[in-house]
Amino acid sequence: MTALGHILRRREAGIALMIVIFCLAVGAYKPQFLTLDSARIILLLTPLIMIGAMGQMLVILARHVDLSMGSMMALAAMASGMMFRYAPDIWWPLGFVLSIGVGMALGLVNGLLVTVFRLPAIIVTLGTLNLYRGLTFIMSDAKQIDRQYVPSALKAMSQTSPILGIPWIIFMSFGVALLTWWFVMHTRLGRQIYALGSNPVAAPLRGIDVTRVTLIVFAISGALSGLAGIMYASRWGFVNPSNTGSGFEFQVIAAVVIGGVSINGGVGTVLGTVLGVLLLGCVAAALPLLGIPGTTQNAIYGSVILAALLIDRLVRLQGQRSMLKGARI
């Protein structure tokens, strides 16, 4: 197989192609979609999902799922927001520390429930999805953290940076993606996540500490949700107990699945997930431009996910058929 053929056969090529076709199609109708300005809009829509998607990818690779991400994000952001409200003069980067710390603790709780009590992750995180959201309401007394309490230095991170004026949070999200790539491809622990998801029964026979690996992926998922939480405060300038992180987990899971991460574990790449996030970002940016009302957004999101999965399945079936033909000759 030629090098080019090898690249084209990869799952990521299919998603990249979908992005290009989608952008060209929208661009043909609304040329302003194909400008730098609109690229900026797309990128600004994606950092939170990107960071969440990295955490979710690790969990799904290990053949689990984390439905509680949005609630962990809200609770972590609320903790930092309240800290800023009570201590306005506090050194603002502490918000990151607190948010990530809270997120990691919540993720560990998920992990402990899954490992110690051997409960299915989908049920555990469905429970904590509601529990953590409820705790956010209780803790905040159902009150929003308003703009004036969020430190302006924090808000500025989402506005600009010295590098081409591209906001810091975009760099951060790609930084997290790069770090995740290094982690899953080049560390022993990262490979153990793939092995666990690929064959959970055999994993202990090969000396993999299944409990430890599972705890770690849920803790990372929580920590990254926490990071997304503080970035939410930066991006939107407020934290709301009801809106913040609402539906986040579904966007994230959508991005991961579109990116070719197998829900059965063991299969998926960071590049694919990044492309999945970008495809979702393109769709989100195109909707208002095309004059599609916000009310139809969910329906369109859902359709995009199903379309991406269908196209992928068709491409794969085609590939298998041509392989079978080759085998017969």
Partner 1 sequence: MSATVPTPILAAPILSARGISKQFAGIEVLGDVDLDLMPGEIHALLGENGAGKSTFAKIVAGVHRPTRGTLALNGQSVEVTSPIVAQRLGITLIHQEPISFPDLSVAENLVLGLQDGGSLSRVPWGKMERDARRLMDLLGVDIDVTRTMRGLSIADQQMVEIARALASDSRLIIMDEPTAPLTPREVATLFAIARRLRDEGRTIVFISHRLEEVRDLCDRVTIFRDGAKVATDSIANLTDADIIRLMIGRPLKEYMHKVGTTIGEVALQVTGLGRAGLFRDISFSVRGGEIVGLGGLVGAGRTDVARALFGVAPADTGRIKVNGREVRVTGPAQAIRLGLAFVPEDRAQAGIFRSLSVEHNISAAVPGRIAPQGIIRRSLEKALAQQSVAKLSIRLATLRQPIGELSGGNQQKAILARWLLTDPQVLILDEPTRGIDIGVKAEFYDMIGQLAADGRAILLISSELPELLALCDRVLVMAEGQLTAELPRGVATQETIMQAAVPRNTAREVAA
User: Residue numbers of the site for partner 1 (CB under 8 A)?
Assistant: 185-192, 194-195, 197-199, 202-203, 205-208, 262, 266-267
Residue 315: count of CB within 10 angstroms of its CB: 15
203 near 210, Cβ under 8 Å? Answer: yes
Nearer to partner 1, 190 or 259 (CB): 190
Give the tokens for residue 181: 């790539």
State the minimum distance, in angstroms, from the CB of residue 197 to partner 1. Answer: 8
Nearest-approach distance from CB 188 to partner 1, in angstroms: 6
Residue with tokens 């998603």: 15
CB of 308 to partner 1, least distance (A): 21
Q: Output the CA angle 70-105-136, nearest 5 degrees.
A: 45
Q: Token digits for 72?
A: 């962990």
State the amino acid at position 54 in one-letter form. Answer: M
- Which residues are CB-neighbours of 109 under 8 A, at least 6 positions away? 128
Residue 27 or 200: which CB sits closer to partner 1? 200
**Min separation Cβ 107 and partner 1, Å:** 17
**Cβ(54)–Cβ(177) below 8 Å:** yes
Instruction: For partner 1, give the closer residue by CB, 289 or 315.
Output: 315
Nearest CB to partner 1, comparing residues 21 and 185: 185
Task: Name the minimum Å distance from CB 264 to partner 1.
Answer: 9
Distance CA 298, CA 269 (A): 26
Measured distance CA(326)–CA(319) in Å, rounded? 11
Cα 114–Cα 188–Cα 193 angle in degrees, nearest 5: 30
Please answer whether residues 17 and 245 qualify as being in contact, where contact means their C-beta atoms are separated by less than 8 angstroms.
no
Query: Judged by CB, which is closer to partner 1: 162, or 207?
Result: 207
For partner 1, give the closer residue by CB, 234 or 269.
269
> Minimum CB separation from partner 1 for residue 94, in Å?
26
